[in-house]
Amino acid sequence: MALPESPIDVLVVGSGGGGLVAALTAAAAGREVLVVEKLPTIGGSTAISGGALWIPDNSLLREAGETDSYDAGWAYVDGLVGDVGVATSPARKRAFLTEGRSMVEFLRAQGMELQHVNNYPDYYSSRPGGRTGGRSIEARTFNGKKLGADYKRLTKRTVLPALAVRAQDLSGVSNGVRTWNSLWTNVTTVWRTLSGLLTGRPMLSMGQALIGQLVLATQRRHIPILTDTPLLRLSTDARGAVVGAVVRHQGREVSVHTRCGVVLACGGFSRNRQMRAKYQPRLAGDWTHASLGDDGDGIRAGIDVSAAVEQMDEAWWMPTSIMADGSRHMCAYERAKPHSIVVDAAGERMCNEAGSYMEIGRRMLDRQATLGNTDPFWLLIDARHRRRYPFATWPPAITPRSAFTSGYMVRARTLEELAQRCRINSAALSATVNRYNAMCEKGVDEDFHRGDDAFDRYYGDPAAKPNPTMGPLSKSPFYAVAMYPGDIGTNGGLLTDEFARVLRPDGTGIDGLYATGNCTASVMGRMYPGAGATIAPSMVFGYIAANDAARRFNDSGR
């Protein structure tokens, strides 16, 4: 498809969740919309994510028989996030909470099939306003063949790629066959996957299902999505208003002119080593899980037209291991199982291993700063852990030889030998394990409160007593895997107001320029309230941006 020569109403840069929702919203308001995507595939980081949306007081939650309210959502978000800058202003938080509910109804009206993620707790459910039943929703599993040719254009998921796992299945799948519920979850997940393949209906789930359903909705509204079309720069008029953008399409630079505005939804800068060195100098390596296109294009384009930035030192941290083939693995559930701990090179624990991944990642960075090194951390497990639970992409009790020959996983008969091979302080490790094992008898973590919160227990083992997340490291052989402070994206960027309008350093808005997602400073600040607290704000503020652009167009009388 060729780029339009005449002006369009709204140009959306980026085809992740935020960008596609912005495009749908603008089209529903009667605007002519174009989506451009720099990669050859559609979906960005959203497509390779868990695909959950954290939306307080949403209708799907209520229809599932759960109770929530705006006031409870406000108490939780405001108490957890605080007011640490313009990005987390009361007006921005109110916009997220209010418009989030409206966006869910809008998406359902576009034909999207969503469901409440059962019993996935808020990450700090014991805080005022927190819910043990959670507030996350997800797209229902989706037949990819409904997309026609666009099915092949979807960004492929790299985590558990062969299984149609839903967000609400994660706890059960991660427990193997330890309980009847986990066994049933694994059986139904395998059956869902196989039945789809056998009938020629590949079942998409998680982030792919969310993007797949959004793409189908854009098809119904005839919204073009041009891939292999990166943003080069924004175009402005004499007043400094954004009136379009220059993109590269089919090998040449093309100007796209807009009447209503440009919505930047093109991710953060996790893949840009120069920007990370400038804004996040304490990060010692490249351990990101973000999309390959996550290299700061939108942020740089905004800065070039005098946009302000905030929270550039922050990211959505995720404890990460590096597999034998160089791929990254999110250490999400393994560290919450019994018979595991995380230690530093000094042989000491430094966190609640079952807690929020963002908080653990930040603690890893802080610990490295305290120790004055960039040594990896170590996830230690014993034989019972490896026998009972999946690890990375391997089922329980099955570990490929390459895991050991590549050095990804270290195995030893004793903890002393394991410490020597991993260059961990042996005496300190022995003391740490002895103390931890003693606490396991009572099931109370006196040091870091592991298992106290409902989210801690979500990935635990219900068959383990008295604390589903705790069990001694005492059964040989012992295993160790190096962990690093990776991320699933940066969460600082262009500063925006409650209407998703990009701001200058003096607080004035740049007319015609909107932004959402990881190219902006997050409304969640430096916290991660629950599953989907990155994708939800991206989509909500994409919805807000498109509605504001359409309203301002109407008000102008153009």
Q: Residue 159's pLDDT is what? A: 54
Nearest to 328 by CA among 445, 153, 489: 489
Amino acid 412 reads A
Q: What is the pLDDT of residue 326?
A: 87
Nearest to 542 by CA among 7, 53, 146, 166: 53
User: Residue 518 carries which DSSP code?
Assistant: G
Please check whether residue 416 is in contact with residue 426, taking contact to mean a CB–CB distance below 8 angstroms: yes
Average pLDDT over residues 519-546: 97
In eight-state DSSP terms, residue 410 is E
CATH architecture of 324-487: Alpha-Beta Complex (3.90)
When pLDDT is cut at 50, 70 and 90, the band that residue 284 belongs to is confident
Cα→Cα distances 512→94, 98, 427, 499, Å:
23, 23, 62, 12
Contact residues for 332 (Cβ-Cβ < 8 A; gap 6+): 318, 319, 357, 459
Confidence (pTM): 0.95
H/E element holding 412?
strand 409-412
CA dihedral for 349, 397, 394, 172, sign (positive or negative): negative
In 3D space, the residue among 542, 558, 507, 492 whose CA is nearest the CA of residue 243 turns out to be 558
Question: Tokens standing for 363?
Answer: 């603690």
239 Cβ neighbours under 8 A, 6+ residues apart:
511
Give CB contacts under 8 A, 24+ apart, made by 156-163. 156/41, 156/47, 156/48, 156/208, 157/47, 157/48, 157/206, 157/207, 157/208, 158/48, 158/327, 159/48, 159/329, 159/330, 160/393, 162/193, 163/189, 163/190, 163/193, 163/205
Which alpha helices (DSSP H) does 55-205 contain, by range?
59-63, 70-81, 90-109, 170-173, 180-198
Identify the pLDDT of residue 285.
87
> Does position 161 have pLDDT exceeding 60, yes or no?
no
- 8 A C-beta contact, residue 440 and residue 470: yes
| CA–CA gap between residue 541 and residue 97 (Å, rounded) | 11
Q: Which two tokens stand for residue 339?
A: 């018979």
Asked whether the predicted pLDDT for residue 2 surpasses 80, the reply is no
Domain boundaries, the chain: 1-158+202-314+491-544, 324-487
Distant-in-sequence, close-in-space partners of 429: CB < 8 Å, separation ≥ 6: 343, 347, 415, 419
- Identical fold for domains 1-158+202-314+491-544 and 324-487, yes or no, is no
Give residue-wise pLDDT tens across range 370-421: 888 899 999 999 999 999 999 998 999 999 999 999 999 999 999 999 999 9
Cβ contacts of 186-192, under 8 Å, gap ≥ 24 = 189/163, 189/164, 189/165, 190/163, 192/141, 192/164
Please write the tens of the pLDDT for every residue from 207-235: 999 999 999 999 999 999 999 999 999 99
- Which burial class, exposed, middle or buried, applies to 1 when counting CB atoms under 10 A from its CB (0-12, 13-18, 19+)? exposed
Query: How many other β-carbons are positioned within 10 Å of the β-carbon of residue 301?
Result: 25
Average pLDDT of the residues in 130-143: 95
Task: Choose from 197-201, 361-365, 551-555 the range with maximum mean pLDDT.
Answer: 361-365
- 27 is written with which tokens? 């089209």
Confidence at 158, pLDDT banded by 50, 70, 90:
low
CB 50 within 8 A of CB 532: yes
Over 112-137, what HEC string results? CCEEECCCCCCCCCCCCCCCCCCCEE
Q: Give the chain's mean pLDDT.
A: 94
Residues 261/305, Cβ–Cβ less than 8 Å: no
pLDDT at position 555? 63
Give the model's pLDDT for residue 221: 96
User: Which tokens hold the place of 20?
Assistant: 């596609």
Centroid of chain to Cα 131: 20
Tell me which of 3.90.1200.10, 3.50.50.60, 3.40.50.970, 3.40.50.620 is the CATH number of domain 1-158+202-314+491-544.
3.50.50.60
Q: What is d(CA 78, CA 88) in angstroms, rounded to the nearest whole number? A: 9
Q: Is 160 helix (H, G, I), strand (E, B) or coil?
A: coil
How many helices, marked H, and strands, marked E, lie in the chain? 17, 21
The rounded distance, in Å, linking the Cα atoms of 354 and 351 is: 9
- Say what the pLDDT of residue 379 is: 98
Q: Could you give the CA distance from residue 360 to residue 334 in angstroms, rounded to a whole number? A: 14
Alpha carbon distance 262, 247 (integer Å): 12
Does the pLDDT of residue 558 top 70, yes or no?
Answer: no
pLDDT in tens, 238-251: 999 999 999 999 99
Q: Give Dmax (Cα) for the chain.
A: 76
Q: Phi first, then psi: what are they for 296, rounded to 5°?
A: 85, 15
| pLDDT tens readout for residues 471-494 | 999 999 999 999 999 999 999 999
For residue 232, which amino acid is it? L
